[in-house]
A and B are shown apart, each in its own frame.
Chain A
Amino acid sequence: MDGISRTLTRVGPIGLIAAALLLLPSTPLAQTAANARVQDDDDATAGATAAVDGDGKLRAPTREEREDLSRQVEQLMNRSARSAAAATPTATTRGAVMAELDESYDSLTLARVADGKPQTRCVETPQEAKAFLDGRLATPSKPAARPLEVE
């Protein structure tokens, strides 16, 4: 097996899922101008489609957008299958035991808009991804970090 074939075999099923997702009808996106000011609030953002608010700041995701992306992330991560997804370990010619890891073992970095800026987070479970996208991951006490909640 040559190098490029090896590369392709390791792209794995998640890569194929990602490609398939791109073919799905996309959610309403930024082409529509919606200049009303929107807050990081479910009701206020319902139906909003522009990525910036009336002040030109990046706006937070709507509930629909969060749920849409959470679904896609869950499909990508497929964490519930983590253990089952592990390839059967095999003995190597050098006396070691080897196992290949599929993409369910990768960490995933997400971004969402909060306070007009992108926030990034490395997640390892679909549940954590959803919590992050929903804005539920307030930062515990740390002087250097700005908490999410003001009330």
Chain B
Amino acid sequence: MRTHLGSASLLLAGILVAAPGSALARAKITVVNANAPGIGFNDPTPATPLATNPGTTVGQQRLNAFQFVADFWGKHLDSDVEIFVQATFEPLACNATAAVLGSAGALTVFRDFPNARYPGTWYPGALANKLAGEDLDPAVGPGTGNDLRARFNANLGQPTCLAGSGWYYGLDTNQAANQINLVVVLLHEFAHGLGFASFASGTTGALFAGFPDVYSRFYFDNSTGKSRIDMTDAERKASAVNSRNVVWTGEEVTEEVREVLQPGTPFLTVNAPASIAGRYFVGTATFGPALTAAGVSGPVELARDAGGSTLGCTPLGAGALAGKIALVDRGTCTFNVKARNAQDAGAIALVVADNVPSALPAGLGGVDPLVTIPAVRITQAAGAAIKAALPGVDASLLLDMKVRAGADPAGRALLYTPNPFESGSSVSHWDTSATPNQLMEPAINADLTISVGEPRDLTKSLLEDIGWDDEEKKHERKKKRQQDREHRRGD
């Protein structure tokens, strides 16, 4: 016996009928309520109906949010086989200021099934069913096996569980600053369960049960020139921390990168000396002017105060850095204080060298409306290389408009492969440099909209690359892209 969401689906019908495109759902995704009576989805606690969620109990509003996400994904995917999501709201680990919000993933994987596009390749259950055109789960027969699992925290917002916060159950993005949007988190987690995930071990590089997964077929390491499926375990492990050098090669995503990701990636380009010439990643600042395509160029000078400190925390002398790009070390004072001191000394830009090792520089936080020069952070290693080459370093700080934010120079979307591995997740997210923020970045950012496809998001395209596509629609999209390209050439 399965507990379906009959009442929730009916309640939502009015909302969904009004939503554009909702009547065109191509895959049916059913939420299976696995909660016992009186708890979770069946919590009878009265709730005030929201503009977009008419539920009158907490349980009902939870059901509505889940089914909304199921229907939302359903209208973006194609499958003749119903997809079942085993769902619960239950108490999960938390304390007053931090919490597990929830977890989700595929329940089964299949390989070498009828119509599989790649032999010897694991597919998540729902996708395998779609490609096979039938429910492949042999244990319980067609239509009865669950494909995804989703467990979410029923205690959020209570005094013992992220007190002062709580779920926002609206089917929009009108959450208050202290609330967490359940729909957005669910959209993200459902995507993992639908196939935005690798099943290989991130810590050892070992494949799942000796075979690659379909996700890994589109994972490519620019440094080694190898696809993840062609790597040894050791190479996979090394590639998982090869920051900003791993890309997604799927055609659908690559086509959409130019529509979705903004042009412009910030770099510090060292023009001379030749021994260290090249582009260095930078973290940009929340204060001061944004970097521009024209950028600023000049000699780099290590800024020292009267006492010889290179921290930039005290005045550096009026005019001492006129026309120079000031290089200082991170530490002791805030970034905007360093920027003000460099600016007051006549510098045209500030470069802060990190004081801890990292593969990529983080941004510079802070607020100061009086800072008028651009400021960036570089890694500790880059800082050491530049210092060793001083004097005589000439550099430019600019936004390279040919490289989209979150893509490599060839226009392929970057996957998240942070170094060290322990400070970041495995390879199953977009890189955090993607702009605008993407649903499938590891951080579920507060500015996300309810969107999984272009012009805002790349998630749907990735799922299409692994097999959630429709041949007819694919052909139409290709034709339109070709026309668009010809149109642009004509202009």
Contact = CB atoms under 8 A, between A and B. Distances in A.
Contact of B164 (A58, A86, A150): A58
Interface in B78-128: 86, 90-114, 116, 122, 128
A148 interface: yes
A109 to B, nearest CB: 4
Shortest beta-carbon contacts, A-B, top 5 = A147-B363, A51-B163, A106-B105, A96-B113, A127-B422
Interface stretch (B198-206, B342-350, B460-468): B198-206
Interface in A32-88: 49-52, 58-62, 65-66, 68-69, 72-73, 76, 79-80, 82-83, 86
A6 B9 CA distance: 23
19 contacts: A22-B91, A29-B95, A29-B159, A51-B96, A61-B95, A69-B93, A69-B100, A83-B208, A96-B132, A98-B110, A98-B138, A99-B108, A105-B197, A120-B443, A133-B98, A137-B424, A140-B360, A142-B435, A151-B335
A146 B286 contact: yes
Interface stretch (B15-23, B48-56, B141-149, B477-485): B141-149
B162 interface: yes
Contact of A30 (B96, B110, B145, B201): B96
A1 to B, nearest CB: 6
Interface of B: 1-3, 32, 34, 86, 90-114, 116, 122, 128, 132, 134, 136-140, 144-146, 149, 151, 156, 159-160, 162-165, 177-180, 185, 188-189, 192, 197, 199, 201-204, 206, 208-209, 266, 281-284, 286, 290, 330-336, 360-366, 376-377, 405, 421-426, 428-429, 432-437, 442-447
A103 B159 contact: no
B203 A125 contact: yes
Nearest to B243: A140
Contacts of B2: 3-4, 7
Contacts of B178: 58, 117-118
A93 B114 CA distance: 12
Given A95-B113, A131-B422, A51 B159 contact: yes
Contacts of A21: 93
Contact of B362 (A51, A117, A141): A141
Contacts of A86: 208-209
Classify chain A: how many residues form its interface, as a range.
35 or more
Contact of B98 (A7, A98, A113): A113
A29 B160 contact: yes
Nearest to B159: A30
B180 A107 contact: no
B286 A122 contact: no
Residue from A61, A73, A124 with most neighbouring chain B CB atoms (10 Å): A124
Given A123-B442, A139-B362, A111 B433 contact: no
A124 B202 contact: yes
Given A94-B138, A101-B199, 9 more contacts: A69-B98, A80-B203, A108-B102, A109-B188, A120-B180, A131-B423, A143-B405, A145-B437, A145-B445
Contact of B93 (A60, A76, A112, A130): A76
Contacts of A13: none
Contacts of A142: 284, 363, 405, 432-435, 437
Interface string A11-34: 100010010011000110111000
Contacts of B146: 6-7, 10
Contacts of B444: 109, 120-122
Residue from B91, B144, B160, B376 with most neighbouring chain A CB atoms (10 Å): B160
Contacts of A61: 95-98
Contacts of B284: 141-143
A121 B442 contact: yes
A101 B192 CA distance: 13
Contacts of B266: 141
Given A97-B110, A119-B443, A150 B365 contact: yes
Nearest to A65: B95
B165 A99 contact: no
A61 to B, nearest CB: 4
Contacts of A108: 100, 102-103
Contacts of B447: 144
A62 B96 CA distance: 10
Contacts of A29: 95-96, 159-160, 163
Contact of B433 (A4, A101, A140, A147): A140
Contact of A99 (B209, B281, B443): B209
Nearest to A11: B34
A82 B109 contact: no
Contact of B108 (A80, A100, A143, A151): A100
A52 B423 CA distance: 27
B473 to A, nearest CB: 26
A113 B1 CA distance: 41
A140 B422 contact: no
B209 A111 contact: no
Contacts of B335: 149-151
A109 B102 CA distance: 5
B95 A125 contact: no
B406 to A, nearest CB: 8
A27 to B, nearest CB: 5
B98 A122 contact: no
Contact of B425 (A2, A4, A122, A140): A122
B268 to A, nearest CB: 11
